[in-house]
Structure 1
Amino acid sequence: MVKTMRGQARITESNVQDMLREVRMALLEADVALPVVRDFIARVKERALGAEVANSLTPGQVLVSIVHKELAATMGEGVADLNLATQPPAIILMAGLQGAGKTTTTAKLTRHLIERRKKKVLTVSADVYRPAAIEQLKTVTKQAGGEWFPSSGDQKPRDIALAALDYAKKHFIDVLLVDTAGRLAIDEALMAEIRDLHATLDPVETLFVVDAMQGQDAINTARAFKEALPLTGIVLTKLDGDSRGGAALSVRQITGAPIKFAGVSEKIDGLEVFDAERHAGRVLGMGDIVALVEEVQKGVDIEAAQKLAEKVKGGGGFDLDDFLAQISQMKKMGGLSGLLDKLPTELAAKAGQADMNKAERDVRRMEGIIRSMTPLERRKPELIKASRKRRIAAGAGVQVQEVNRLLNQFEQMQGMMKKMKGGGLMKMMKRFGGKKGLPGMGGGMGGMGF
């Protein structure tokens, strides 16, 4: 997306068109509803046109940054927490369709309130149509460490809610969570019932629970619930699946309510406070490229790179001290796994955490081996023969073959440097944050010596 536009001083109608087409496709693939996508693209275009492009960036990056910020702003500024500022018990009404994960979310929220907010929590099920739902709430509330208030299918939802409220007041409960009935589709009887519950209880929070995998359907559900209830927040469930969670954008725009939580696993503690910034990158499937750009610009020592380029250009060899400096650069930029967090999701998925841990260990081992060498050995690696290898290995606490492997890697890097005669190195470093190059993804890890 970024690499298509370079070298222009400002964003214009022509250079923005292709990229916005890609953004539009990415949003539609992430299951954002079409009307929401149209609206969003129009807002980005308005913000972007005529935007100045800083020296060290390209129009592509500036646009990525604008898209990212606008996405995050659309999904809510920062982190929206629950409002519990009321005379206890604070009542939270859980709304949503059957199958969206309301009951498990109620239990996860119970755990969150107990652990993070140190509250005494009571749950009750007003789902009189499914006795299994009442039993399920009992089981999961127990797992979460909360109290459960019994109800049965022959009671009216309103009576259940009032009885639970009465119990909560008498037993000094801080928060009462009311799980309501869901249907497989929106129907008027369900909406009338939940409106009545809302009027009876006057909750401080009315949370709309929606399945992130629902995609386009989420928008109709959201509209119906918004018309029926004054929603105060959204909980997005099943974000651990393959979905990119574009439903977040649709639901947020249709309801106007902030997304407060995201269900990220089936475990009882698998509920996270929703972070709009992080989710924006996920929806576009491009990781946090904006943070990566900043990280790389901050971490790369351009002056050191220039010196090295000049040294190589002037016929000075690339030695092990230079190799060590490259490894240090890598570490300054947050190590391999630090960078991995910010890569697009597809790339990050390919490099599993186990591989990353191994790579981090390898980097540390390489550093240890080079630091066990004398200054002369670092300047003249050709001196390192069998006896020196044994001494270096012992000093670094590794086997001799590890020293051999490092020297092989170094020789490959040295060969590459000779081919470049320094000029190519600067190009590579510029890609990682030089004054006029592209601090984007293009150079891979090559510029860092890996």
Structure 2
Amino acid sequence: MQYHTLFEPVTIANLELSNRFALCAMGPVGLGDKEGGFTQRGVDYYVERARGGTGLIITGVTHAANNVEVHEYPSTPSATVNPAHFVRTAREMTERIHAYGSSIFLQLSAGFGRVFAEMAEGEPPVSASPIQSRWVDEACRPLTVDEIADIVRQCGEAAGIAKEAGFDGVQIHAVHEGYLLDQFAIAFFNQRDDKYGGSLENRLRFAREVCEEIKRVCGDDYPVTVRYSPKSFIKDWREGALPGEVFEEKGRDVAEGVEAARLLETYGYDALDVDVGCYDAWWWNHPPMYQEKGLYRPYAKLVKEAVGIPVICAGRMDDPVMAAAAVADGTCDIVGLARPLLADPDYVNKLRADDTAAIRPCLSCHEGCLGRMIHYKNISCAVNPACARERYARLVPALRRKKVVVAGGGPAGMEVARVCAERGHEVVVFEAKSRLGGNLVPGGVPSFKE
């Protein structure tokens, strides 16, 4: 294996992962049913990434607490809506994932707060303080101490249900991207004068209590990780800084980010899944195609140098040379892939076989993973029509091999040829021009072998 360092085992708490790759959490819209369980489509979606060799599967966000923020169903699963049904549907998934030698964590959310866009009419979003909502021109309602305690309790309850369902650990969503726990952790959002406001330790108290409650319910050896942003890139309300821009950080700066990472480790978190940004600086958390690959690496390295627990680094990390170097030089312990594993669930196995030419590349286009998820309530991928439709769109070997002639080597013709060839047919492509590609060629795509 050319990239053998990426296939060495790594340990989170007492759990050994088979390799250094993790499927990072992506919005699981369309993968849950109206009772809070996983649909068959959701089960197949996660199992396919394990079958493709990914060492750690982290699910999309599931909501632990549903009494303060009432979330839309059947958008996403939730362990606490109907625990028996959740366990029944999740057990099939976790057992199949384990059969492929992979591990799986359930991502648990304490809440969205000011970035929640689905509050009932007349109900303001909640947050640490009466701050401005990200989406509407009204102030948030501060959570009471009793409400915080109830959310903490439900996070522990959800983790206990996840453990029963066969999940190897949980990831807390999140002291990142400006979600509810992050709104408590960042002074720009947190104006409280009780035990949850003021000092950094007080602002992180909510996140600390969540971890402690999960450890109390599930045991000290049960892995609890957290999605974490050491820098916010906030210039002002609803205004984020661009790459390379000189600005005054209103959110979490790097110095506080490193200190917070140290504190999260002392609180009992077993790994930090690092990115940067905030809903007010959206392009950092969801880097588009014109952002550089591996843009979180400098921040992951700062965190890694400050803590002794494993660090996951995502952010367009699908260049294997770059990923292997990041593990080798101590930037991170685990390479996080989200959209690249939507584009090609077999990425890891293909890399293990040194067959990089066969990897279907992610475009970082946001068309299927975010665009269709928002507008059509179902996750998908612009370059992988089988994404989240694995059972229905899988290419199976043809019962009888045929000779197929494809007239025209444009995008559609090449896709027809590819599908037919993968099913075992003999394919001949006729193209009038000197090279394949059609309208892809003026778009800047390199020429294809004829």
User: TM range, normalised to the smaller chain?
Assistant: 0.3 to 0.5
After TM superposition, the score normalised by the length of structure 1 is 0.34
Choose between structure 1 and 2: higher strand proportion: 2
Choose between structure 1 and 2: higher helix proportion: 1
- Which structure: larger Rg? 1
